[in-house]
């Protein structure tokens, strides 16, 4: 039975693989047929000197099936449009890629034509040297933007000859704080032209607002805050009790909770020991772990109550004394304030007299 299942699985895999391969071949055949039709339409447009349409057809065809014959048609269409830089790159790509041994004769012919025609295109390419300066001789302006026919020009190409197609080009230069400049640059066939640009300051450009100096320290201190009078100065910032009393109360509450919980646990262990040990407090060795647990819980409970009591007392003292400490005057003696913690097993707090 296992061999039958294995045979069925292998047969199914072969069938699916054959189906995928058949589908891929069908798609490739469809692409080749479409590329062939586009190439024929591109050649017809090229013969009719409809170079723009020929460029579109050959680009589409080369996208479907990359072949030197289609790329050669694209290069010729670009050259016919005057896009000599683009045509040169297409010709050189054919030469760089070459053709594989045993390729069709038309591929070999396309390679030879590309080698010959690129030599006729390259000498016709022109050049332009773009240079930018400011009228006042300032350093390089901020956010300098240079574009030729809408395409950004790298700053590294400023002041050096840049290859350009022959014909009329639109040059745009702009910078922060300067008037933008738009020029028409005519590049001759196979020649070079200079395009110097001088930027002038823009009087309407937004000026930076000067920072306002703060008032002198003595003037600021001599002016009383709103609501304050010479007889009753305004309370200093932070003159209230602040956060520290509540921090102390929080610590105290945590200590009291810890002491209460561990104290209750210690009472439970003490009850168990009272039943297991003699009236004289003597316990058998098997109760030693409970004895140790009882001692530990008792210690933790005592420490917790101590922390809770000190925290509560500290918080109360800060609430009462903080205003006097801020104002610089000692606490009033007439209050007779005395606060002290009260500690005990199962209870903790603060007490005082006034």
Which pLDDT tens digit goes with each residue over 60-70?
Answer: 999 999 999 99
Alpha carbon dihedral 160, 163, 168, 172, in 10-degree steps, equals -50
Residues 138 and 178 in one domain: yes
- Tell me, what's the pLDDT at 166? 93
Question: What does the chain come to in residues?
Answer: 354
Give the N- to C-terminal CA distance of the chain in Å, as an integer. Answer: 100
Residue 215 inside a domain? The answer is no
Tokens of 11: 């047969």
Residue 60 inside a domain? The answer is yes
Residues 77 and 180 in one domain: no
Residues 44 and 87 in one domain: yes
User: What does the alpha-carbon distance between residue 161 and residue 192 come to, in Å, rounded to a whole number?
Assistant: 8
User: What does the alpha-carbon distance between residue 299 and residue 45 come to, in Å, rounded to a whole number?
Assistant: 101
Containing structural domain, residue 177: 126-199
Pure H helices in the chain = 2-47, 51-64, 68-81, 84-97, 105-121, 217-222, 244-276, 288-327
Tokens of 195: 């395009």
Kindly give the confidence (pLDDT) of every residue in the chain, 354 residues in length, as a single tens digit, with 9 standing for 90 and above.
434 333 333 333 333 334 434 455 566 889 999 999 999 999 999 999 999 999 999 999 999 999 999 999 999 999 999 999 999 999 999 999 999 999 999 999 999 999 999 999 999 999 999 999 888 887 778 889 999 999 999 989 999 999 999 999 999 999 988 999 999 999 999 999 999 999 999 898 765 444 555 555 554 445 555 555 544 444 444 455 577 777 767 877 887 788 778 777 867 767 776 776 766 666 666 767 777 777 787 788 788 778 777 767 777 777 776 555 444 445 444 444 454 454 444 444 444 444
Domain boundary among 88, 123, 158: 123
* Total count of domains within the chain: 3
Q: How many CB atoms lie within 10 A of CB 76?
A: 23
- Tell me, what's the pLDDT at 224? 52
- Tell me, what's the pLDDT at 129? 96
**Distance set, CA 167 to CA 139, 164, 183, 190, 331 (Å):** 32, 9, 14, 11, 93
Q: What would the pLDDT profile of 201-260 be if each residue is shown by its tens digit?
A: 989 876 544 455 555 555 444 555 555 554 444 444 445 557 777 776 787 788 778 877
Q: Name, in order, each residue with C-beta under 8 angstroms of 236's C-beta and a sequence gap of 6 or more.
A: 326, 327
DSSP track, 251-278 = HHHHHHHHHHHHHHHHHHHHHHHHHHS-
Residue 208 inside a domain? The answer is no
> Residue 135 is part of a domain; what is its CATH number?
2.60.40.1120
**Short-list 244, 241, 249, CA closest to 307:** 249
Residues 162 and 73 in one domain: no
Domain boundary among 169, 199, 229: 199
Residue 172 inside a domain? The answer is yes
**Short-list 199, 68, 101, 72, CA closest to 144:** 199
Residue 344 inside a domain? The answer is yes
Residues 142 and 191 in one domain: yes
User: What does the alpha-carbon distance between residue 271 and residue 274 come to, in Å, rounded to a whole number?
Assistant: 5
Residues 20 and 91 in one domain: yes
Residue 205 inside a domain? The answer is no
**Short-list 255, 241, 242, CA closest to 349:** 255
Residue 293 inside a domain? The answer is yes
Domain boundary among 146, 168, 199: 199
Residues 37 and 95 in one domain: yes
Helix (H) or strand (E) holding 171: strand 167-174
Residue 117 inside a domain? The answer is yes
Tokens of 202: 């823009």
φ and ψ of 106, to 5 deg: -65, -30
- Tell me, what's the pLDDT at 11? 38
User: What does the alpha-carbon distance between residue 229 and residue 227 come to, in Å, rounded to a whole number?
Assistant: 7
SS3 145: strand
Residues 43 and 66 in one domain: yes
Residues 183 and 89 in one domain: no
> Residue 63 is part of a domain; what is its CATH number?
1.25.40.10
User: What does the alpha-carbon distance between residue 53 and residue 59 come to, in Å, rounded to a whole number?
Assistant: 10
Look up residue 325 and give its DSSP letter: H
pTM greater than 0.85 (yes/no): no
Residues 164 and 88 in one domain: no
Residues 97 and 191 in one domain: no
Residues 34 and 89 in one domain: yes
């Amino acid at each position: 039975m296992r061999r039958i299942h294995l045979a069925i699985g292998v047969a199914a895999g072969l069938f699916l693989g054959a189906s995928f391969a058949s589908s891929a071949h069908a798609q490739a055949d469809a692409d080749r047929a479409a590329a062939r039709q586009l190439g024929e339409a591109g050649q017809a447009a090229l013969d009719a000197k409809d170079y723009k349409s020929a460029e579109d057809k050959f680009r589409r065809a080369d996208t479907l099936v990359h072949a030197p014959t289609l790329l050669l048609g694209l290069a010729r269409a670009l050259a016919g449009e005057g896009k000599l830089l683009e045509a040169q790159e297409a010709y050189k790509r054919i030469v760089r890629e070459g053709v594989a041994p045993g390729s069709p004769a038309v591929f070999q012919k396309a390679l030879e034509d590309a080698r010959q025609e690129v030599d006729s295109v390259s000498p016709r390419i022109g050049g332009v040297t773009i240079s930018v300066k400011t009228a006042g001789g300032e350093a390089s302006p901020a956010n300098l933007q240079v574009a030729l026919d809408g395409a950004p020009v790298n700053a590294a190409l400023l002041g050096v000859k840049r290859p350009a197609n022959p014909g009329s080009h639109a040059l745009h230069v702009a910078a922060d704080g300067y008037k933008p400049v738009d020029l028409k640059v005519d590049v001759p066939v196979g020649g070079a032209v200079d395009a110097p640009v001088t930027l002038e300051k823009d009087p309407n450009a937004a000026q930076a607002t000067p920072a306002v100096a703060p008032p002198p320290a003595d003037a600021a201190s001599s002016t009383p805050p709103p609501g304050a009078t010479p007889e009753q100065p305004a309370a200093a910032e932070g003159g209230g009790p602040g956060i520290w009393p509540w921090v102390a109360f929080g610590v105290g509450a945590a200590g009291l909770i810890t002491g209460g919980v561990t104290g209750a646990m210690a009472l439970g262990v003490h009850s168990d020991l009272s039943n297991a040990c003699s009236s004289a407090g003597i316990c058998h060795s098997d109760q030693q772990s409970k004895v140790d647990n009882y001692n530990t819980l008792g210690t933790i409970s005592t420490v917790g109550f101590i922390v809770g009591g000190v925290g509560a007392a500290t918080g109360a003292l800060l609430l009462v004394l903080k205003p006097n400490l801020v104002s610089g005057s000692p606490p009033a003696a007439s209050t007779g304030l005395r606060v002290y913690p009260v500690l005990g097993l199962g209870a903790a707090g603060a007490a005082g007299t006034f």
